[in-house]
Amino acid sequence: MNKTDANRILSIDLMRAFAVFMMIQGHTTHSLLNISSIDINSNFYQLWLFFRAFTAPLFIFSAGFVFSYLLSQKEFDYTINPRILKGIYRGITLILIGYLLRYPTIKFFNIAYVSYSQWLTFFTVDALHLIGIGLLLIVFFSYLSLKIKVNPIITFSILTIIVFFGSPLFLQFEWENTKNIFIASYFTSKFGSIFPIFPYLEFVFFGAIWGFIISQENSFITKKLNLFIILIIGIALFYSSKFVDFVYFDSVLRFGALLILLSIFSFIGTLSSSLPKVVQSFSKNSLWIYIIHLVILYGSPTSIGLSQIIGNSLSAESTAIAVTLMLILMIFISLGIDKFRVRKFNYFRKNFRLE
């Protein structure tokens, strides 16, 4: 692997590891902190809120980024690209895991006594559902781009624009009158969905654009002039968001923040030849870390979480300790997953003569 390739991967790993770190501390703080014990008008808390607003878009953006980058590697012809089936499998798996984590009863078929509010919780669309749908759409539209001979960068740019400008129309629709809550939950937050596909799908597609750009132009992300231009565009979008229509404010603000972070992480990637093992592990195991820390905090169909046991009862100091312990636990779990992978690989290599 040449230096350019290494730097490109470093920037992706840095971005994804940072997104996972921010998500862990954000969820833990939100679940356990007693807001009444702090000054919510303090600069520190407002700064925390400010950065937390960009955590989910960054996590979603990096998922689209990484998958499209891997999907479009030049050594694979698209029609025989193993990433296609892996992408379809991963997309479906993420959606199923998302529903499993919110299943309303311990006994799988014991649904006679499930309440309406419990069904609403089950149908809630969160980051796993959104990313799963996003990966499936990336596969579909990438294949469509190949068939009609259009550069996928153009395809996903158009899709990003469509989602961006189409989102207000879906927000205005009276979804509460629909009888199909399962479908409606993907398009509105009125039934409790955290990440409906409008507008959050725009961040998956936006990530896909950059994944294809970097895959097609190896040196794009390592040229400091390019990174400077990305940074300037990000800053311009960030500060111009206050002048756009209110319905577009959040999206423009977050697009700006994503470009700023992309330029920063890419610049760091050009300065390094390798990443600490912990950072690499966090990036590689982002899905498992995401699922495990959610189960610990919020529980599952077969368990209760810290939010049910402790709730929002901790002081700022205790919450900081809890966040630190959660991060340490996730680091050990992530490194353990890596070790398990190595042992499993060595077992198959030894017993099935794969040397």
Domain extents in the chain: 1-50+276-355, 53-218
Looking at residues 109-114, what average pLDDT do you find? 68
Residue 261 has pLDDT above 70, yes or no: yes
Residue 325 has pLDDT above 50, yes or no: yes
| Calpha distance 259→208 (Å, rounded) | 13
Task: Name the phi and psi angles at 108, rounded to 5.
Answer: -55, -40
Residues β-bridged to residue 303:
300
Model confidence at 1, pLDDT cuts 50, 70, 90, reads: very low
Average pLDDT over the chain reads: 85
Residue 304 burial (10 A CB sphere; 0-12, 13-18, 19+) = exposed
- Tokens, residue 110: 């014991």
pLDDT in tens, 146-177: 889 999 999 999 999 999 999 988 878 887 77
Other CB atoms within 10 A of residue 92 CB: 14
Counting every residue written for the chain, the total comes to 355
44 CB contacts (<8 Å, ≥6 apart)? none
Residue 94 has pLDDT above 80, yes or no: yes
CA 20 to centroid of chain Cα atoms:
8
Model confidence at 101, pLDDT cuts 50, 70, 90, reads: confident
Model confidence at 110, pLDDT cuts 50, 70, 90, reads: low
Looking at residues 39-45, what average pLDDT do you find? 86
Residue 355 has pLDDT above 80, yes or no: no
| C-beta separation of 28 from 173 below 8 A | no
Query: ∠43-323-289 over CA atoms, to 5°?
Result: 120
**Per mean pLDDT, which range of 122-136, 144-158, 206-220 is the poorest?**
206-220
Listed ranges 50-59, 196-205, 265-274; the one with the highest mean pLDDT: 196-205
Residues β-bridged to residue 33:
314
| Calpha distance 13→279 (Å, rounded) | 7
Looking at residues 261-277, what average pLDDT do you find? 85
pLDDT given for residue 178 in this prediction: 79
Distances from the Cα of 333 to the Cαs of 65, 163, 228, 288, 330, in angstroms?
Answer: 25, 37, 37, 9, 5
Residue 353 has pLDDT above 50, yes or no: no
Looking at residues 278-307, what average pLDDT do you find? 86
- Comparing CA positions, the residue from 341, 217, 205 lying closest to residue 280 is 341
| C-beta separation of 195 from 134 below 8 A | no
Residue 32 has pLDDT above 80, yes or no: yes
pLDDT given for residue 106 in this prediction: 63
